[in-house]
């Protein structure tokens, strides 16, 4: 296996004059403060790790809804990056913001409903007031990443039922609990959603670590989740630099954890699914 695409990286610039900090929730994440990573630094990490391309995700805990740093990185390296922007769906200018960032060349959207600086699960995820933006994503063919917790599953079911043509990607598998190991009763809700063909899973470094904790092993969990969803609906992301690197170590850990799968499944998770979700990467690679 030679082709690796990372669908969850971040860029954060140390130049706070050019890119002012305005973290979501008012508190900057520790990782973005301690490990700012420019686009050039990210590419160097990718090269060292054997990663060909990346979907760079807005660092909301540094920049909130201002995706300028992300857009500049994508514009500077269009053959290596695509971008996943974040907007406030309740803002009066939400539709204009969606149009602005898609016109800037960003090809994915992320909704941030929980995180290191926003604990708990926000209740607005399936608010009908946000549906016009979902309709824009559906029309544009934009995949939507959800940064959510298991408590948001009822909202997710609503969205899956209403927006069946929008690829919905669960960041970190929605922080699913793998406690107790097989048969993964605490993760039953996630397995039960596998019959929604537009639901995708983002298997990150966090997931790799969770699969080896609390009675679980990678060989127990990953074949089960692949059997439920199919590898063509699962994609890998390092979460670098939010997740401690170097990226090469995160790639190695993922390869080791997924060694229990067949070659075709690993190829899909490490690249094939990413190219389907973000077709600009396919065109750039060609």
* Predicted local confidence at residue 112, as pLDDT: 81
- pLDDT at res. 125: 87
Number of domains in the chain: 1
pLDDT-derived band at 101, boundaries 50, 70, 90: very high
Token duo for residue 210? 């969770």
pLDDT tens sequence across 163-181: 999 999 999 999 999 999 9
What residues make up the domain containing 230? 5-285
The pLDDT score that the predictor gives to residue 122 is 64
pLDDT tier at 1, thresholds 50, 70, 90: very low
pLDDT surpasses 80 at 62: yes
Mean pLDDT calculated for residue range 178-186 = 94
Give residues with Cβ within 8 angstroms of 218, minimum separation 6.
208, 211, 212, 256, 257, 258, 260
Tens of pLDDT, residues 21-39 = 999 888 899 999 999 999 9
Look over the chain and give the mean of its residue pLDDT values, rounded to a whole number. Answer: 94
CATH code, domain carrying 121: 3.20.20.140
pLDDT of residue 119: 61
234-237 β-sheet, strand order = 5-9, 53-57, 81-86, 108-112, 144-147, 168-170, 199-204, 234-237
Q: What percent of the chain has pLDDT over 90?
A: 87
């Amino acid at each position: 296996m030679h082709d690796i695409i990372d669908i969850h990286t971040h860029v954060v610039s140390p130049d706070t004059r050019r890119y002012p900090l305005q973290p979501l929730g008012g508190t900057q994440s520790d990782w973005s403060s301690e490990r700012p990573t420019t686009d050039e630094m990210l590419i160097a990490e990718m090269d060292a790790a054997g990663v060909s391309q990346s979907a760079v995700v807005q660092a909301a805990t540094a920049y909130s809804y201002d995706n300028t740093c992300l857009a500049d990185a994508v514009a500077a390296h269009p053959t290596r990056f695509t971008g996943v922007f974040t907007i406030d769906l309740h803002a009066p200018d939400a539709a204009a913001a969606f149009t602005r960032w898609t016109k800037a060349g960003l090809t994915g959207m992320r909704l941030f409903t929980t995180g290191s600086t926003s604990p708990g699960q926000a209740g607005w995820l399936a608010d009908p007031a946000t549906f016009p933006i979902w309709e824009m994503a559906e029309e544009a063919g934009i995949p939507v990443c959800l940064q959510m917790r298991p408590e948001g599953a009822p909202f997710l079911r609503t969205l899956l039922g209403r927006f069946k043509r929008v690829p919905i990607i669960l960041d970190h598998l929605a922080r699913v609990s793998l406690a107790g190991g097989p048969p993964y009763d605490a993760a039953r809700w996630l397995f039960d959603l596998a019959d929604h063909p537009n639901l995708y899973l983002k298997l990150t470094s966090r997931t790799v670590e969770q699969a080896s904790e609390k009675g679980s092993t990678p060989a127990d969990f990953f074949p089960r989740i692949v059997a439920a969803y199919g590898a063509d609906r699962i994609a890998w992301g390092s979460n670098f630099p939010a997740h401690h690197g170097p990226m090469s170590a995160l790639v190695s850990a993922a390869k080791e954890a997924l060694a229990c799968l067949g070659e075709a499944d690993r190829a899909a998770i490490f690249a094939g699914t990413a190219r389907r979700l973000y077709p600009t990467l396919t065109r750039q690679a060609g």
